[in-house]
Amino acid sequence: MSTTELDAYWMPFTANRQFKKAPRLLAQAQGMFYKTPEGREVLDGVAGLWCVNAGHARPKIVQAIADQAAEMDFAPPFQMGHPKAFELAERLVKLTPPELTKVFYTNSGSESVETALKMALAYHRARGEGSRTRLIGRERGYHGVNFGGISVGGIVANRKMFGHLLAGVDHIRHTHDPARNAFSVGQPAHGADLADDLERLVALHDASTIAAVIVEPVAGSTGVLIPPQGYLQRLREICDKHGILLIFDEVITGFGRTGQPFAAQTFGVTPDLMTVAKGLTNGCVPMGAVFAKQKIHDVFMNGPEHLIEFFHGYTYSAHPLACAAALATLDTYAEEGLLTRAGQLQGYFAEALHSLKGLPNVIDIRNIGLVGGVELAPRAGEPGKRAFDVFLDCWEQGLMIRTTGDTIALSPPLIIEREHIDRIVDTLRTAIGRVA
């Protein structure tokens, strides 16, 4: 494509000027691979964008979308419904921890976060504790890009351009602790005490003002930060002690990424609200959801029956094509055992990934399930440039990775085989050595 043909599109989260000088275009996808317009094969090391968990162009999902488009393209979600929305919700709650029994549909991870935050605020007001309006996020957290999400989020670049954001938001400390935990395999041993930072904020603001705490079980976009052993359990205990809702953002970790259907099950901690998207439809049709405990839902079910209980929703909530894609995605996951496959492969994946230790400028390696991070030492005065150069080198070698700052992030489709893991790691080894 010519430079002129690329000009109109303002690309998201992209170095637009660099990209348009040397475009990286994808034209086809099948299984573990993309193809460029020229027919060059590129191994997908990041499941598209943490979302194509079952691999690309899966026949059952493709057929379901086509059939649904022909049968019914759209159904209004306000005061109306369609069968697949209810069928999907019933199937989803069979996969979640038992207490999460209600599903509210959205269209993205960002919308799921906004929805969960509003649910938390409205829940406390409905039960007579309207003073609980404060929301607590975490430093280095990523919760999408809408105003609520960047307010509770803790990635500076996502926040600094947009003014004061939401009022009444505070943040607990992040868990990145390379001095104690560098090159941990799986969950780091040190850092459960970092959850006690929530007690500091309770002392500062008083629990009666705090509605909810939101964290990613595994912080993805900030560089793959694995929760220390006991950390999430401690966070759960503190929230219970003070009547604060705990929200898990599982947009990245949901649908098999950590070895169980959800990270809540992997780590043995059940939140009050849980946000999902991405793997819900295998990335085929935009869709998200919030899972809620029964007690949260039931607080709203008061007053005259003809009145709306929760004034929130989206035109495309439970879109028929999205529901069809999600049902076929769940079928594919079930038929191939994909929601637990990361648990079977994580040992091999961890060993391969940690073999990169000792390469020039590799200062940490982190992993859980089929997600990994390789942190590189930044170049003086050029933060993020070393990892970006590795990204470009891998692209030329036929591998797609993701970078965030100077961390290389990996989250391959769950259909990955050992030879694909070997290829990813060997390509990374060459690129890191070349870029050093």
- Type of residue numbered 332: T
Q: Quick one: average pLDDT of 98-105? A: 97
Q: How many angstroms separate the CA atoms of 220 and 248, rounded? A: 13
pTM score, two decimals? 0.97
**Can you give the pLDDT at residue 236?**
98
pLDDT tens by residue, 289-303? 999 999 999 999 999
Work out the pLDDT band at 24, boundaries 50, 70, 90: very high
**Can you give the pLDDT at residue 1?**
72
Every domain of the chain and the residues it spans: 3-53+338-435, 62-336
Query: What's the start-to-end Cα distance of the chain, in Å?
Result: 32
Tell which residue, 373, 366, 367, 370, has the closest CA to residue 342.
370
**Can you give the pLDDT at residue 436?**
80
pLDDT tens by residue, 38-78? 999 999 999 999 999 999 999 999 999 999 999 999 999 99
DSSP state for residue 377 in the 8-state scheme: P
pLDDT tens by residue, 327-364? 999 999 999 999 999 999 999 999 999 999 999 999 99
CATH class entry, domain 62-336: alpha beta
Q: Do domains 3-53+338-435 and 62-336 have the same CATH topology?
A: no
- Of 4-8, 87-91, 154-158, 353-357, the one with minimum mean pLDDT is 4-8
Torsion-angle region of 281 (φ positive above 0: left; ψ -120 to 50: alpha; else: beta): alpha
Which residue, chain included where needed, has tokens 């038929």?
A: 335
Tell which residue, 239, 201, 208, 238, has the closest CA to residue 127.
208
The rounded mean pLDDT for the chain is: 97
**Can you give the pLDDT at residue 2?**
67
Fold observed for domain 3-53+338-435? Aspartate Aminotransferase, domain 1 (3.90.1150)
Does the structure show a pLDDT above 90 at 257? yes
DSSP per residue, 146-213: SHHHHHH---HHHHTTSTT-SSSEEEE-----HHHHTT-SSS-SS-GGGGGHHHHHHHHH-GGGEEEE
**Can you give the pLDDT at residue 240?**
98
Q: How many angstroms separate the CA atoms of 64 and 16, rounded? A: 35
